[in-house]
């Protein structure tokens, strides 16, 4: 079968699954006075359309920041403005200042869902398709299967189309993916431009900024800091500064504007400022950086596309595990890079992506998304098993742990059962997840511990994520030795 027929079919399947999930209820449906985050999106359209730019981030009689104030960078605001223009064309009541609070109707729901689908179709899906087409050393069929599995990843679908919590995650992730694509294919300027757009869309993308920085810096060093490298460095710096200026232009006119926006984006005055808390935060910060420093240093010294992707995973995971005030959906920032390495380590990636979906279980149950999450997870799992034959790829070499186990075997000659341990761990993990899901759905928690199940889910997920953090760091650190050995041999 010709390539583009299959690719079209795969993209259509992705779109169909997305729209089918979106036919479910959304968070905050019919729950005054604050409603849910669906209302937040609608409110932002109202604000950006009716008020001048200078008032978007400020508290005023027209713009009550306590009621879903804007707390994303300017690009989100511009996107809301664009959607507001379309909304005005269809039905001006949807964005009328003040009077449209809590507006809920079938037509409006449809409109909001459509904006998500269109944004997805324009930004995220082309990035995925192009990325998989640019993968090297795999057959066409595998590339198309890769697209299918990435598009079927349940976490992103459920959050963007089911949960409606700060939707348009696919936009920021899509931009980040364009960035990864550009930088991996040596279109550094375009890649960094795309990534700047991603950061200016949602500030969470800063989780990915360190690997980008280190990789590009490493490329500059490799080209020689006296010649081409310096030129590249300067060009990159200019691109980044220019893109930031372009996005923030209306807010650079006054210092107060810029500061206010920053205050909305990074609300550091949440929580108490006691001395012990400050110390705790300081140590947390140090710990985070310590956990990701080795990988970043390695990436700077030996920039490679593969190392870049793995470093993205490990950095984002470190930030996710050790940062302050992290939302559950931030796991999506880790899931995207893991999707990118699906073809390299299918078994571990599939496992991680299943755990990441599971970790959002309390959030999904709150929005009555049990059925869609079960169905999409099963579809994703079956797709991965069928196309990647993940259960046949559990040998040490396939798991990229060969050099690591060789090193360990120098000290412990009997260390031959690594892959078997990992398979057992997988089984335990999956069984625990299934059991916990069943328990959460069928049983009622004891009265004294009403949050028991949520806490258990968090705990189990956290254990899994710590394991993955160690695993990905091992891959990154031991990859160099393999590379060096191979160079010596050849």
Partner 1 sequence: MRGIPDMNQVGRKRALRSNGGAHNCGWYRQLVFGFGARGDSPQMSSHPHLATSEWTLDYPPFFAWFEYILSHVAKYFDQEMLNVHNLNYSSSRTLLFQRFSVIFTDILFVYAVHECCKCIGGKKVGKELTEKPKFILSVLLLWNFGLLIVDHIHFQYNGFLFGLMLLSIARLFQKRHMEGAFLFAVLLHFKHIYLYVAPAYGVYLLRSYCFTANKSDGSIRWNSFSFVRVISLGLVVFLVSALSLGPFLALNQLHQVFSRLFPFKRGLCHAYWAPNFWALYNGLDKVLSVIGLKLKFLDPNKIPKASMTSGLVQQFQHTVLPSVTPLATLICTLIAILPSIFCLWFKPQGPRGFLRCLILCALSSFMFGWHVHEKAILLAILPMSLLSVGKAGDASVFLILTTTGHYSLFPLLFTAPELPIKILLMLLFTIYSISSLKTLFRKEKPLFNWMETFYLLGLGPLEVCCEFVFPLTSWKLKYPFIPLLLTSVYCAVGITYAWFKLYVSVLIDPPVVKTKKQ
- Does 1 help bind partner 1 (rule: CB under 8 A)? yes
Q: Which residue has the tokens 């604000």?
A: 47
* Spatial distance between the Cα atoms of 210 and 469, rounded to a whole number of angstroms: 16
Q: Which stretch binds partner 1 (CB under 8 A): 17-25, 295-303, 322-330, 400-408?
A: 17-25
Q: Which stretch binds partner 1 (CB under 8 A): 40-48, 103-111, 251-259, 393-401?
A: 103-111
Tokens standing for 6? Answer: 């299959």
In terms of Cβ atoms closer than 10 Å to its own Cβ (0-12, 13-18, 19+), residue 131 is buried
- Does 107 help bind partner 1 (rule: CB under 8 A)? yes
Q: Which stretch binds partner 1 (CB under 8 A): 9-17, 168-176, 306-314, 468-476?
A: 9-17
CB atoms within 10 A of CB 195: 27
99, 106, 139, 325: which one contacts partner 1 (CB under 8 A)?
Answer: 106
* Spatial distance between the Cα atoms of 483 and 486, rounded to a whole number of angstroms: 5
Closest to partner 1 by CB, 110 vs 427, is 110
Sign of the Cα pseudo-torsion (105, 151, 392, 343, in order): negative
Smallest distance from partner 1 to CB 383, Å: 15
Q: Which residue has the tokens 């559950």?
A: 328
Tokens standing for 169? Answer: 């995650």
Smallest distance from partner 1 to CB 260, Å: 39
Q: How far is CA 303 from CA 193, 209, 220, 233, 452, in A?
A: 19, 15, 10, 15, 45
21, 23, 174, 341: which one contacts partner 1 (CB under 8 A)?
Answer: 23
Q: What is the DSSP letter of 187?
A: -
- Supply angle C-alpha 121, 166, 316, rounded to 5: 85
Smallest distance from partner 1 to CB 313, Å: 32
Q: Which stretch binds partner 1 (CB under 8 A): 11-19, 221-229, 288-296, 424-432?
A: 11-19
Smallest distance from partner 1 to CB 111, Å: 10
- Does 20 help bind partner 1 (rule: CB under 8 A)? yes
- Does 231 help bind partner 1 (rule: CB under 8 A)? no
Closest to partner 1 by CB, 5 vs 417, is 5
Closest to partner 1 by CB, 114 vs 482, is 114
- Does 91 help bind partner 1 (rule: CB under 8 A)? no
- Does 13 help bind partner 1 (rule: CB under 8 A)? yes
- Does 16 help bind partner 1 (rule: CB under 8 A)? yes
- Does 312 help bind partner 1 (rule: CB under 8 A)? no
**Nearest Cα to Cα of residue 45 among 92, 8, 110:** 92
Contacts of 395 (CB under 8 A, 6+ apart): 419
Closest to partner 1 by CB, 66 vs 106, is 106
Q: Which stretch binds partner 1 (CB under 8 A): 105-113, 355-363, 393-401, 479-487?
A: 105-113
97, 110, 249, 438: which one contacts partner 1 (CB under 8 A)?
Answer: 110
Closest to partner 1 by CB, 23 vs 242, is 23
- Does 2 help bind partner 1 (rule: CB under 8 A)? yes
- Does 439 help bind partner 1 (rule: CB under 8 A)? no
Neighbouring C-alpha atoms within 13 Å toward the C-beta of 165: 18
* Spatial distance between the Cα atoms of 221 and 488, rounded to a whole number of angstroms: 23
Number of residues near partner 1 (by CB under 8 A): 18
- Does 118 help bind partner 1 (rule: CB under 8 A)? no
* Spatial distance between the Cα atoms of 54 and 61, rounded to a whole number of angstroms: 14
- Does 117 help bind partner 1 (rule: CB under 8 A)? yes
Write b or e for each residue in 410-447: b if 16 or more Cβ atoms lie within 10 A of its Cβ, otherwise e.
Answer: eeeeeeeebbeebeeebeebeebbeebbeebeeeeeee
* Spatial distance between the Cα atoms of 299 and 203, rounded to a whole number of angstroms: 23
Q: Which stretch binds partner 1 (CB under 8 A): 16-24, 178-186, 334-342, 445-453?
A: 16-24
Smallest distance from partner 1 to CB 162, Å: 14
Element (H, E) at 242: helix 228-248
* Spatial distance between the Cα atoms of 483 and 464, rounded to a whole number of angstroms: 28
- Does 237 help bind partner 1 (rule: CB under 8 A)? no
Where does 305-365 show beta strands of DSSP type E? Answer: none
Smallest distance from partner 1 to CB 308, Å: 34
- Does 5 help bind partner 1 (rule: CB under 8 A)? yes
Binding stretches for partner 1 (CB under 8 A): 1-2, 5-6, 8-9, 12-13, 15-16, 19-20, 23, 106-107, 110, 114, 117
């Amino acid at each position: 079968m010709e390539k583009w027929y299959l690719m079209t079919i795969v993209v259509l399947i992705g779109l169909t699954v997305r729209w089918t999930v979106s036919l479910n209820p959304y968070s905050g449906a019919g729950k005054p006075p604050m409603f849910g985050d669906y209302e937040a999106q609608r409110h932002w359209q109202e604000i950006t359309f009716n008020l001048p730019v200078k008032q978007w981030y400020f508290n005023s009689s027209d713009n009550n920041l306590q009621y879903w104030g804007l707390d994303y960078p300017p690009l989100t605001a511009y996107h809301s403005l664009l959607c507001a223009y379309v909304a005005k064309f269809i039905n001006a009541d949807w964005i009328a200042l003040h009077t449209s609070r809590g507006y809920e109707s079938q037509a409006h729901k449809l409109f909001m869902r459509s904006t998500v689908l269109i944004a997805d179709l324009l930004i995220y899906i082309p990035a995925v398709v192009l990325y998989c087409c640019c993968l090297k050393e795999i057959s066409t069929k595998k590339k198309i299967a890769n697209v299918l599995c990435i598009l079927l990843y349940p976490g992103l679908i459920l959050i963007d189309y089911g949960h409606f919590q700060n939707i348009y995650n696919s936009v920021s992730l899509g931009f980040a993916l364009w960035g990864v694509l550009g930088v991996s294919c040596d279109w550094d300027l375009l890649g960094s431009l795309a990534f700047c757009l991603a950061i200016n869309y949602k500030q969470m993308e800063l989780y990915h900024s360190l690997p980008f920085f280190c990789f590009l810096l490493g490329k500059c060093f490799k080209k020689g800091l006296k010649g081409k490298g310096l030129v590249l460095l300067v060009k990159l710096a200019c691109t980044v500064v220019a893109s930031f200026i372009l996005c923030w232009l209306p807010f650079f006119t006054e210092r107060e504007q810029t500061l206010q926006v920053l205050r909305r984006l990074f609300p550091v005055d949440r929580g108490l400022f006691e001395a012990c808390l400050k110390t705790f935060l300081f140590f947390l910060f140090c710990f985070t950086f310590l956990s990701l420093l080795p990988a970043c240093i390695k990436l700077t010294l030996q920039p490679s596309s593969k190392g870049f992707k793995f470093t993205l995973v490990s950095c984002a995971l470190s930030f996710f595990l050790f940062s302050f005030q992290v939302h559950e959906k931030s796991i999506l920032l880790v899931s995207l890079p893991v999707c990118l390495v699906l073809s390299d380590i299918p078994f571990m990636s599939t496992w991680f992506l299943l755990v990441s979906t599971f970790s959002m279980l309390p959030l999904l149950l709150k929005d009555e998304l049990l059925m869609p999450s079960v169905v999409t997870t099963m579809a994703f799992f079956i797709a991965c098993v069928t196309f990647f034959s993940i259960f046949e790829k559990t040998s040490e070499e396939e798991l990229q742990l060969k050099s690591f186990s060789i090193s360990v075997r120098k000290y412990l000659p009997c260390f031959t059962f690594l892959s078997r341990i990992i398979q057992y761990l997988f089984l335990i993990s999956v069984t625990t997840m299934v059991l916990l899901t069943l328990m959460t759905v069928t049983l009622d928690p004891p009265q004294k511990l009403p949050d028991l199940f949520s806490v258990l889910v968090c705990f189990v997920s956290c254990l899994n994520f710590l394991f993955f953090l160690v695993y990905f760091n091992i891959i990154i650190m031991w990859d160099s030795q393999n590379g060096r050995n191979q160079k010596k041999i050849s």
